[in-house]
Every structure is written in structure tokens, then in C-alpha cells.
Amino acid sequence: MRDRLLALQGEASQEIVDAPNLESLREVKVKYLGKKGEITSVLRGMGSLSAEERPVIGALANDVRSTLSTLIEETEAKLESAKMAEKLANENVDVTLPGKSISIGSLHPINAVIEEVEDIFIGMGFHIAEGPEVETDYFNFEMLNLPKNHPARDMQDSFYISPETLLRTHTSAVQVRSMIDKKGEVPVRVISPGKVYRRDDDDATHSHQFTQIEGLVVDSGVSMSELHGVLLHLIHKLFGEETEVRLRPSYFPFTEPSVEVDIFHPEKGWIEILGAGMVHPSVLEKAGYDAEKYTGFAFGIGAERIAILKYDIDDIRHFYQNDLRFIKQFKSV
């Protein structure tokens, strides 16, 4: 058996060295070192050996395996090196050719506005609040001082799913939910960006779906002058420190007093950009706050309107048509 193992070592070594390629080398490895290989077949006869011979033959078999494995690894490295050299010699690569251009994406202008506004308000200590887009009549209307007969409840204005469920018409419902979650505690300082839905004919300036960013502050001693200061800071950050701002009296059921806020555009004159006001006492009371003790202000911004003014866009429909020619213009935004 000893002679047979040494003979196999010699045969295998020669076949390994003579292997012309990696595939042939793998075949030699299986032939001699595999589970059904030549060396394994010889070792199956060890049962007929004496107790003194078995450890000697076992040690020899291990030496033969180790020698052949080392030789196979060395030969494999040489064959792989030769294969790579042949490949490099046969392939002609022009390293002066230009590389493939990689298209880099960017934020959608609406998302860019949302993130910019969020950064401004986070810097003033506000938190971001979210809520469901499918809302109940209770949070969307009743809690905001909108009685059953209010015009905003008209089916021409809202997308109703059932008599008590609709697609939210504003993110003011998130403000109500935020107050309820605080359980009468102050301060409340949140902004709530999100999609809202209203029945409207889509054209250059109107859409049935748009994006609102609403804000709410509730605390002791909150005043109209504080609201004015917050809005001035926001507008100057968005449009520049020299932007002229004016507040006009208005009416919203959930704020009293209420104002509409305009900015002066050099070419278009005064343009309304948001609505705001002091939170109506009844809204505070319904949300669990003592209106004699606490006051608050709220405001609502249209993200599309801000983007149209900032980036000089002429049609709101561009935001939703997924035209890459339009989107690619905002890579630097």
C-alpha cells in the first residue's frame, strides 16, 4: 500500500504539472483527491493492515495529500496568471475613450420648498407633525369651527368617501390632532406639511391636489405681533431680506382675527402667499385648552405657490406631469 501511494503521488504530480488549463487541473484534483479519487480508493484497504502499519500508512497518506494540494495551488496560480496575461495581450482597450455619463438626480422643487421651510421652522424650535390624508369630518371640519352648513363642506369643494370621511382639504386637521395629543400642555409649536385635496378644475394656477405647510403655536401670551415676526422671518429667508410684506384683514372660521399675507413682486406687484391668524377660542376649547389662559396663532402656506414664485414657474401642472425636462432644471436647488 505504501508503494501504491507513492506511485500515485508521482502520477498525480506529473498530471498536475502537465495540466494545460484550469479546467484540466480541476479534473486532476477530483481524480486523485476527490471523495471517490484514487487515494481514497487505496485507503479503503487499510482495514486489512496490522495495528502497527495503520498509523504509518495514514501519516503517509496525509503527506501525499498535502504535497499534491500544495502543488495544485501553485499550478492554479500559474495558470490564472497565464490566462490573465493572454487576455490582456488579446484585448485592446482604448483608455482615452470618454467614460459613461452618470445622471445625478435632484429634489423635486416641491420637496425642496418643503425641506427649506422645515429647516427654517426647526431653527425656530418647531416640530414636524404628520397626519392621515383620509380624514374624518370631525377633525377636518367640526374641530376647526366649521359647522355642518359651512360652504367649505359643499360636495363641490371636498372629495367625500362617506358622509363622515373625506380626503383632507387642509392640514389643519394635523394641528388639531397635535393639540389633542398634548392634552392641554404647552408649548405647542408644530408645522404640518402634506398633500391636501379639493374639487377644482385643473389649469395653470389650480390643482385638485396640492401641498400645504401649516403651522401652529399655542402658549401663554402668544400675540399677533409674534405671528407677524415669525412670518417676516420665514418670508425673508425664502425670498430675501429686502422683500416687502403686508398683512390684510381676512376671514377664516378657525382664526380670529385673520389675515392674508402678501409679498411685493417687482414684476407682478402684490401677491398673496399665505393665510394666518390667531387661533379661534372655540378651537382651543374643543382641543382641551383654556382659552382664557392660552392663546395661539396658525398659518397655512401653499408649497406650490412658493415654488412658482421662487423658481419663476408659469404653470402649476408642471409639478405633477413627471416631465424630466422640467425636473432636470432643478439639480442645483
Q: How far apart are CA 238 and CA 309, in angstroms?
A: 10
Full pLDDT tens readout for the chain, 333 residues: 677 777 877 887 888 888 888 888 888 888 877 777 777 776 666 667 677 777 777 777 778 778 888 888 888 898 888 888 888 788 777 778 888 888 777 889 999 999 999 999 999 999 999 999 999 999 999 999 988 887 766 656 889 999 899 999 999 999 999 999 999 999 999 999 999 999 888 888 889 999 999 999 999 999 999 999 999 999 999 999 999 999 999 999 899 999 999 999 888 899 999 999 999 999 999 999 999 999 999 999 999 999 999 988 989 999 988 888 888 888 766
Q: With beta carbons less than 8 A apart as the criterion, state whether 68 and 7 touch.
A: no
pTM greater than 0.75 (yes/no): no
Q: State residue 195 phi and psi, 5-degree precision.
A: -75, 145
What kind of architecture, by CATH, is found in domain 109-330? 2-Layer Sandwich (3.30)
Q: How far apart are CA 144 and CA 153, in angstroms?
A: 12
For the chain, the domains span 2-89, 109-330
Q: How far apart are CA 198 and CA 135, in angstroms?
A: 13
Q: Which strands, in side-by-side order, build the sheet including 245-252?
A: 127-128, 188-197, 209-219, 295-302, 269-279, 255-265, 245-252
